[in-house]
Amino acid sequence: MRPDAASALGGRRGARLLRSFLGNATAVIGASITLLVLLAASFGAVLMPYGPNEADFLNILSPPSLAHPFGTDSFGRDVLTRVLYGARVSLVVSAAGVALAACVGTSVGMVSAYKGGYADLVLMRFADLLFAFPAFVLALFLMVVLGFGTVNVSVAIALTYFPIFARLSRNMTLLLREEPYVQAARLMAQPTPRILVREILPNIAAPLIVQATIGVAFGIIIEAGLSFLGVGVQPPTPSLGVIMADGREYFQRGPWVLTLTGLAISIALLGLNLFGDGLRDLMDPRLRQRAGQ
Amino acid sequence: MPRAALYIAGRLAGALATIAVGALVVFFVMRAASGDPALAVLGENATPEAVAAFRAKHHLDAPLVAQFLIWLAGMLRGDFGLSLTIAGGIPIAQLMAARLPITAFVGLYAVVIAVLISLIMGTIAALRRGRAVDTVATSVAVLGISMPDFWLSYVLVFALALGWKLFPAYGFTSPVDSLAGALYSGFLPALAIAAPMAAVFARMLRTSLLETASREYVVVARSLGFSKPFIFRQYVFRNALIPYVTVIGLQIRYLLGGVVVIERIFGIQGLGSLAVDAAFARDYPTVQACTVVFLGIVLLVNVVVDLVCVALDPRRTL
């Protein structure tokens, strides 16, 4: 196919995708919430008049007000500023983990399905084994092994989410392996990596993106849970889990710290989940059904 | 039914083999990362004699593979080794035995609540598809998935325990002591664990009911003139339960994760809080044992779920 024809086709396909996307209320609402959350996490903390660790001992545990919409914590720090800052930490930690899981999991799944044989068997058994561990227990185990801390939370998220990408990409690659265009590429003696990246990956990308969207939501919960218990991100870095763990200490005197932080997490997760649901609806339903088996 | 027995035995053997491989991975990962447990416990300045005595007591002087086999063989007999730091020298099996019934109770309680809520929500949403009730139920389900369970437990404590004083905010009566007390004190934690699961189950049941209702055999049954309630009961609901039960099995992984955090919040002395305490104290053998036991629970529950699916599916027999 000539490049100009390809781009013209791509353009029309893009417009059609955009139209069906705008017709799907779930996807639009989800994308809007997600965009707002991303904007707030990226720029919100800078716009606030307070710093995330700026103590104000005259304003300890003051309830939500105009000056402090989320109230202040036991050091008089503005909770909203900390949540905006913490959302950035949590999002980056989760997204980094999911990105790592997606890269490694997809590569392993695709190569495993395409090559077949013993390597496929061993790799998939390993993925199944990881998948059988309760996700949070596995993450907790990994934190003990790796040591508590921000980077290791990402690694733990990546390892718990890796089997999902490996399985999904493997199942879909198996379906596509015998497709005429893949066969043709193979007959033209194209090297395997090129076939995987140029022919197969673009055709399995959509469900992987959906999985990644839901995965970031999952990662935020894992991060918040680990840090909430105290084995994840370590204070004074304010991740959402750290702020909630902090709020737990004085929950009776200042319930707003924990409650409003959790509400912020719920809104972020709601956006990601709706976005993922909407994207899933938009995808080819047949491919989804076949890959799910 | 020798064939059924054979099938169950095969599945159990598969689960046991997976547990053994899981134990292998857990053992070597833990050992590679944590270094010498003797130095970790006794400190860098321990006398060589103390280190040697410690290593002999915990079989640390044997080759790694032998250590693993000793550990694995011990687990098969119900001996998980000795706890290092949280309860120095006490057998881990003894710590677990006291806590397993508590975790099992809370987990089962949560599943029952989630199943009850989801059966009602999912069925109503499917029967009233596209109406207001469906929209509300579906929206509530998405909300349920988006709330971290540990946050929800604080909201519940805030409203129902501190506000209305309906339930205790902290503490748990063991079901061994008093079943009624356990049901009462365990309600809030179980509800917090159950809520996100109920949302997932309800969504699955709704989709599954709608999909089954459009199957050919349901159309045939309708054309034969069977009454609507009869078709729903005998054709739609029963067959829709198969993917529903499968999802319950898959969610056990998340349920146990929820249990770990929630036990901690409500001060429930179960396996989850044991795992967290051990994680904090870097009690490596206890963390190791807890991880394997949680893996075992997931695998055994999945065998049971699989058997339930076979029993439900008219196309499959043992």
Query: What pLDDT, on the 0 to 100 scale, is given for residue A32?
Result: 93
pLDDT > 90 in chain B, percent: 7
Query: What pLDDT, on the 0 to 100 scale, is given for residue B73?
Result: 84
| Helices and strands of chain A, counted as H and E runs | 13, 0
| Helices and strands of chain B, counted as H and E runs | 14, 0
Contact B150 A228 (CB under 8 A): yes
> Which tokens go with A246?
């902090």
| pLDDT reading at A117 higher than 80 | yes
Task: Decide which of A151 and B90 is more confident.
Answer: A151
Contact A134 B21 (CB under 8 A): no
B293 near A CB under 8 A: no
Q: Are A122 and A282 a contacting pair, CB within 8 Å?
A: no
> Which tokens go with B77?
């007999």
In a domain? residue A243:
yes
Domain ranges of chain B: 3-92, 95-312
| pLDDT reading at A210 higher than 50 | yes
In a domain? residue A60:
no
Interface confidence, given as ipTM, is 0.83
**Structure confidence by residue, pLDDT tens digits, B62-83:** 788 888 888 888 888 878 877 8
| Distance between CA atoms of residues A84 and A40, nearest Å | 7
Residue A88: domain span: 79-179+205-274
Q: Which of B26, B29, B155, B291 to mutate to test the interface with A (most CBs of A within 10 A)?
A: B291
In a domain? residue A121:
yes
| B227 CB neighbour count, 10 Å cutoff | 10
Q: Are A32 and A278 a contacting pair, CB within 8 Å?
A: no
Task: Decide which of A281 and B262 is more confident.
Answer: B262
| pLDDT reading at A160 higher than 50 | yes
Count of CB contacts below 8 A, A vs B? Answer: 132
CA–centroid distance for B142 within its chain: 22
Most confident of A89-103, B44-58, B95-109, B254-268: A89-103
| pLDDT reading at A2 higher than 60 | no
B154 near A CB under 8 A: yes
B26 near A CB under 8 A: yes
User: Chain A contacts of B287, Cβ < 8 Å?
Assistant: 140-141, 144
In a domain? residue A227:
yes
Q: Among A43-47, A228-232, B175-179, B225-229, where is mean pLDDT lowest?
A: B175-179
In a domain? residue A141:
yes
Contact A136 B264 (CB under 8 A): no
| pLDDT reading at A4 higher than 60 | no
Query: What pLDDT, on the 0 to 100 scale, is given for residue A288?
Result: 45
Helix (H, G, I), strand (E, B) or coil at A10: helix
Element (H, E) at B120: helix B92-127
- In whole numbers, what is the pLDDT of chain A averaged over residues? 84
| B56 CB neighbour count, 10 Å cutoff | 12
B304, with CB counted inside 10 A (0-12, 13-18, 19+), is middle
| Distance between CA atoms of residues A74 and A235, nearest Å | 14
Query: What pLDDT, on the 0 to 100 scale, is given for residue A293?
Result: 37
DSSP A198-235: IIIHHHHHHHHHHHHHHHHHHHHHHHHHHHHHTSSSPT
In a domain? residue A15:
no
CATH topology of domain B95-312: MetI-like fold (1.10.3720)
| pLDDT reading at A286 higher than 50 | no
User: Chain B contacts of A230, Cβ < 8 Å?
Assistant: 280
Helix (H, G, I), strand (E, B) or coil at A78: strand
Place of tokens 């109770």: B105
CATH of residue A119:
1.10.3720.10
Confidence of residue A145 (pLDDT cuts 50, 70, 90): confident
Average confidence (pLDDT) over A213-226: 91
A132, A225, A266: residue with CB nearest B261: A225
Confidence of residue A284 (pLDDT cuts 50, 70, 90): low
Contact B142 A274 (CB under 8 A): yes
The number of domains in chain A is 1
| Distance between CA atoms of residues A158 and A219, nearest Å | 9
Task: Decide which of B181 and B297 is more confident.
Answer: B297
Task: Decide which of A184 and A236 is more confident.
Answer: A184
B129 near A CB under 8 A: no
